Amino acid sequence: MIIKKIKAKKIKNSRGEETIKVIIKSDIGKGEGSTPSGASKGVHEVAAFPEAGVDFCVDAINKELKDGLIGLEINCFSDLKKIEDIIDFKKYGGNTVLAVEYAVLNSFDAAWEVLDQNAKQVPRPIGNVIGGGAHIKGNSSPDFQEFLVFSLDCNSFSDAVFANFKIHDLVRKRMKKLDENFNRETSDEGAWVADISNYQALELLRGAIKEVSKEFGFTIHIGLDVAASSFYKDGKYHYHNFSDEQKIKVLTSAEQIKFIGELIEKYNLKYVEDALHEEDFEGFAKLRKEYSNNCIIVGDDLTTTNSTRLDKAIKNNSISGIIIKPNQIGGLIETKKVVDKAKANKLICAMSHRSGETKDKILGHLAVGFGTQLIKTGIYGSEREVKLKEIKSIEGQIKLKKYK
């Protein structure tokens, strides 16, 4: 495809924050791309936008960068390097680069085939059911940022999505018993918000997955995004809603590892993300050594889709899984390098949305094209649902292609 026209404009993401949308016209059709932002960010992430702001980036695409982009021929994944050579993410932010790359990929009928025409499977969805931490304002919610559900042995992506939705709805119906003031408020990612402790949230999920697993006939697991850096201060972990009996609790690193380990065993957790603060490679390694046979120990703030930080995590045996967020590193070329390195070292990769999302559908194509085993998209909300619907469509395309 050859870019014929390009235009950028400012839009709002699901959290009401300003971001960029890029529209291109090419010889094969039209494509649009827009980029999200996270509320919980690792300190090693690239800036989504420069200090000059979104308007500066929109003007740059529409004026000085336009002439360099028009006429570019992009026919395969490696051709995206041409875009990254023109748009410096250090000057214009990672979101600006990605919005153009997403628009280009979205102009193809099947972007996943541009990334890998031999892709044969779609990832399994991880859904956020109960929210806490940095995604929620106030101190009455759980300390952990996300209480997640997912299945690895479901028959199809559609079945897994439906099961996650059923759990999400069942938790809503039962939440009132734990929080009499529960009013169906949701987090940025569509997870339920309530005045409950970490333990109460886990107990609620355990009951729900037991019932839904029996109904659907496949095993559903609980996962956690602890986002421990968000409550780590002065070398310790400061809980404000630890349990229903004890709200305030302060743990050392060793105590935090023991606590997370106890939760893995008690609730049969199969996925724990950012259980320790973002510089504690050794602490992650201790947790992985003890529990990775039963649970995927995942880095997000620890690794920030950054090849150098991934190297350190690999060297220290810190993780068995990694979150992939393209706008943490600023472009798809480097994102794929991180995915390839992680997979070469037998790490589980989870492509992930951000809390401030847009209705761009590209995330599923990236997950399929890069071959990530998992994808975090959320369960509820139009920005999340458009991604789930797109992956269902891709799953159908792959099946149809197989039988042709």
Amino acid letter at 210? K
Q: Of 299, 272, 344, whose CA–CA distance to 126 is shortest?
A: 272
Q: Other CB atoms closer than 10 Å to residue 78's CB: what's the count?
A: 10
Do residues 4 and 25 touch, judged by C-beta distance below 8 A? yes
Is the Cβ–Cβ distance between 342 and 322 less than 8 Å?
yes
> How many C-beta atoms lie closer than 10 Å to residue 120's C-beta?
11
325 is an active site residue: yes
N residues, the chain: 404
And the tokens for 350?
């989870």
**Active-site residue (options: 45, 84, 101, 189):** 189
Catalytic residue among 166, 325, 376, 387: 325
**Ordered DSSP codes for 297-338:** EEESTTTTT-HHHHHHHHHTT--SEEEE-HHHHTSHHHHHHH
Strand partners, 37: 356
Burial code (b: 16+ CB inside 10 Å, e: under 16) for 238-269 equals: ebebbeeeeeeeebebeebbebbbebbeebeb
Q: How far apart are the first and last CA of the chain?
A: 26
Q: In whole angstroms, what is the distance from residue 213 CA to residue 247 CA?
A: 31
Cα Rg of the chain (Å, integer): 21
Residue 219 contacts residue 151 (beta carbons within 8 Å):
yes
Main-chain dihedrals φ then ψ at residue 39, nearest 5 degrees: -85, -40
CA–CA distance, 354 with 342 (Å, rounded to integer): 21
Encode 330-362: b = buried (16+ Cβ within 10 Å), e = exposed.
bbbbbbbebbeebbeeebbbbbbbbbbbbbbbb
Q: Enter the tokens of residue 28.
A: 């094969």
Tokens 């308007």, located at residue: 55
Task: Tell me, yes or no, if 81 is annotated catalytic.
Answer: no
Residues labelled as active-site residues: 189, 325
